[in-house]
């Protein structure tokens, strides 16, 4: 397991206490899991994703990750409609281990793009990790 100072935590994404990340890209938001989450889970072997067109409220469960260690729920950090899923993860879920920020899980059209501002920035998320 990595030490907190070894984690890759980009400054251009926002984070949740449940270790998802969200990145505004134009008028959509890509969502994935943080380097901390993939490191804690170990080798990810399956990703359950919603369907395009599904809608969620902020905090709703939108899928699960299965690793050699456990199954973990995924919680949507911002409410909205799923406009894309990362189909590469269906055949190669280990992409989330290799590059958790390139290996996004879903892309949503948010109801309110300002919701992303309520998520942790890098420094605040580091504080959360140091408390765990």
CA distances in angstroms from 55 to 21, 48, 116, listed in the order given: 18, 16, 17
List residues bridging with 74 in a β-sheet: 63
Say if residue 1's pLDDT is above 90. no
77 in a structural domain? yes
Say if residue 132's pLDDT is above 90. no
131 in a structural domain? no
Say if residue 116's pLDDT is above 90. yes
- Give residue-wise pLDDT tens across range 79-100: 999 999 999 999 999 999 999 9
128 in a structural domain? no
Give residue 61's region: left, alpha or beta (phi > 0; psi -120 to 50).
Answer: beta
Q: What integer pLDDT is reported at residue 94 of this predicted model?
A: 96
- Give residue-wise pLDDT tens across range 28-60: 999 999 999 999 999 999 999 999 999 999 999
Among 12-16, 49-53, 111-115, the range scoring the smallest mean pLDDT is 111-115
List residues bridging with 31 in a β-sheet: 22, 106
Residue 93: domain span: 13-120
Task: Kindly compute the dihedral angle of the four CA atoms of residues 41, 42, 44, 48, in this order, to the nearest 10 degrees.
Answer: -10
How buried is 114 (Cβ within 10 angstroms: 0-12 exposed, 13-18 middle, 19+ buried)? exposed
Structural domains of the chain, count: 1
59 in a structural domain? yes
Please state, for a pLDDT cut of 90, what percent of the chain lies above it. Answer: 92
């Amino acid at each position: 397991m990595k030490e907190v100072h070894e984690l890759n935590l980009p400054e251009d994404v926002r984070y949740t206490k449940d270790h998802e990340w969200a990145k505004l890209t134009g008028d959509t938001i890509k969502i994935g899991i943080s380097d901390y989450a993939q490191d804690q889970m170990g080798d990810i072997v399956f990703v359950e994703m919603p369907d395009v067109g599904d809608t969620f409220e902020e905090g709703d469960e939108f899928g699960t990750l299965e690793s050699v260690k456990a199954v973990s729920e995924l919680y949507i950090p911002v409410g909205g409609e799923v406009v894309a899923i990362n189909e590469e993860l269906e055949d190669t879920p280990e992409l989330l281990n290799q590059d958790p920020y390139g290996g996004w899980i879903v892309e949503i059209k948010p109801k309110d793009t300002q919701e992303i501002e309520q998520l942790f920035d890098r420094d605040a998320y580091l504080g959360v990790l140091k408390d765990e």
